[in-house]
Structure 1
Amino acid sequence: MQSIGMFFGTETGTTRLIAKKLYKILGEDIASKPLNVNRITVEEFLQYDALILGTPSYGVGDIPGLSAGCLERNWGEFLQQLGSPDLSGKRIAMFGLGAQERYSERFASSLFALYRVFEGLGAEMVGDWPVDGYTFDHSASVIDGRFVGLVIDQRTQGMYTEQRLKDWADQVKPLLIEKIARAA
């Protein structure tokens, strides 16, 4: 059986940490080792029918990358390499990081910017998450009262991270496994 591809962009290493925690929860039997998008090829990315993508938040809902002020290559540069392939047939779940107290007016908004790219390329997006338990003024990542993916605030709500990851993994795992089982 094919595995779930796991890819992330990171600026400080926190998104990498969260991706590794999620990988341990899912297990190596169904998930590939998380890889930084600044170290992969388009071919490596496209080989998966089910993916989990992680992103930090950067700027005012920008896609993290050099043009947004990141110090290293990130999603912005990977998306330039990716171009605009037809991703219909791919199922993607996403998680994003944010700081609800420090950036309350744009909390985790980069998640939506990345979500919009992959949805626009035809991918089936899964894994929305409730806004309950968060305190913020605005997030572009909220559609119909729910985040478009799991949101982690490691800075002020790190005590909830493990449980949120477990609960979200329980939600998306069957959807992603179903996709890779159909592709086999």
Structure 2
Amino acid sequence: MKKIGIIYGSTTGTCESLANQLATCLGVSDNDVHSADKLTDALVSAYDVLILGTSTWGDGELQDDWYDGIKVLKQADLNGKTVALFGCGDSEAYCDTFCDGMGILYEDLKDSGCTFLGNRVSTDDYTFSSSIAVVDGTFVGLALDDVNESAKTAGRIQAWADELKHSL
């Protein structure tokens, strides 16, 4: 099986908690779950599959831990790497920037040579007005609203993890 690393950016702990739930569903060791502010080229090189998660802050901005982390990824050789994205957002209070952080990660990496996986998540079961994480009518990764739709979180994570496992 391919070596999977989960990298997350989390200010309040929500995205970190979701990263750990995802790790459990995928059978990924706690040692392979890292904060984006600890990202290095050596860490990127250690994994075949990078699962990247972020919350969205302010006016649709990438979470602060990704400030340097995204620079590391943009400079790394991602050819041959598989990347899957997940994002946290608040679809009620920030319905016009829902999971935009995930969309920013996608935009920054889409021409990097990596192959995206789990990037056709239907928007049908979500309520929001706008998101740059929607491309060609679907989310570019798993969108989660653990604030307003926490009852759906575990099921969404499990279904997405099952899809990733099947594709890997």
Q: TM-score, normalised by structure 2?
A: 0.91
Match runs of 1:117-156 below 5 Å = 117-128=108-119, 129-156=121-148
Opposite residue 111 of structure 1, the aligned amino acid is M
Match runs of 1:5-44 below 5 Å = 5-28=5-28, 33-44=32-43
Match runs of 1:1-184 below 5 Å = 1-28=1-28, 33-65=32-64, 74-128=65-119, 129-175=121-167, 177=168
**In 1, are the aligned partners of 2:39 and 2:72 still within 8 Å (CA)?**
no
How far, CA to CA, are the matches of 1:160 and 1:59 in structure 2? 24
Q: Secondary structure at the match of 1:56?
A: strand
Question: Following TM superposition, by how much is the alpha carbon of 1:151 offset from its aligned partner in structure 2, in angstroms?
Answer: 0.4
**In 1, are the aligned partners of 2:74 and 2:109 still within 8 Å (CA)?**
no
Question: Following TM superposition, by how much is the alpha carbon of 1:172 offset from its aligned partner in structure 2, in angstroms?
Answer: 1.2
Could you list the runs of 5+ residues in structure 2 that have no partner in the other structure? none
How far, CA to CA, are the matches of 1:2 and 1:81 in structure 2? 21
Could you list the runs of 5+ residues in structure 1 that have no partner in the other structure? 66-73, 178-184
How far, CA to CA, are the matches of 2:79 and 2:58 in structure 1? 29
State, as a whole percentage, how many aligned pairs show the same letter.
34
Flag the structure with higher helix content. Answer: 1
Report the count of equivalent residues: 167
Opposite residue 165 of structure 2, the aligned amino acid is K
Q: TM-score, normalised by structure 1?
A: 0.84
**In 2, are the aligned partners of 1:61 and 1:112 still within 8 Å (CA)?**
no
In structure 2, relative to structure 1, the CA distance for the partners of 1:64 and 1:133 (3 Å cut) is: same
Flag the structure with higher strand content. Answer: 2
In structure 2, relative to structure 1, the CA distance for the partners of 1:157 and 1:3 (3 Å cut) is: same
Root-mean-square deviation (CA, aligned residues, Å) is: 1.7
Opposite residue 105 of structure 2, the aligned amino acid is L
Question: Following TM superposition, by how much is the alpha carbon of 1:82 offset from its aligned partner in structure 2, in angstroms?
Answer: 4.2
In structure 2, relative to structure 1, the CA distance for the partners of 1:171 and 1:83 (3 Å cut) is: closer
**In 2, are the aligned partners of 1:4 and 1:32 still within 8 Å (CA)?**
no
- Per-residue displacement from partner, 1:106-144 (whole Å, max 9, x unpaired)? 111111101111222121111121101111111111111
Question: Following TM superposition, by how much is the alpha carbon of 1:77 offset from its aligned partner in structure 2, in angstroms?
Answer: 1.4
Moved over 6 A (4+): none
In structure 2, relative to structure 1, the CA distance for the partners of 1:28 and 1:139 (3 Å cut) is: closer
Q: Secondary structure at the match of 2:50?
A: strand
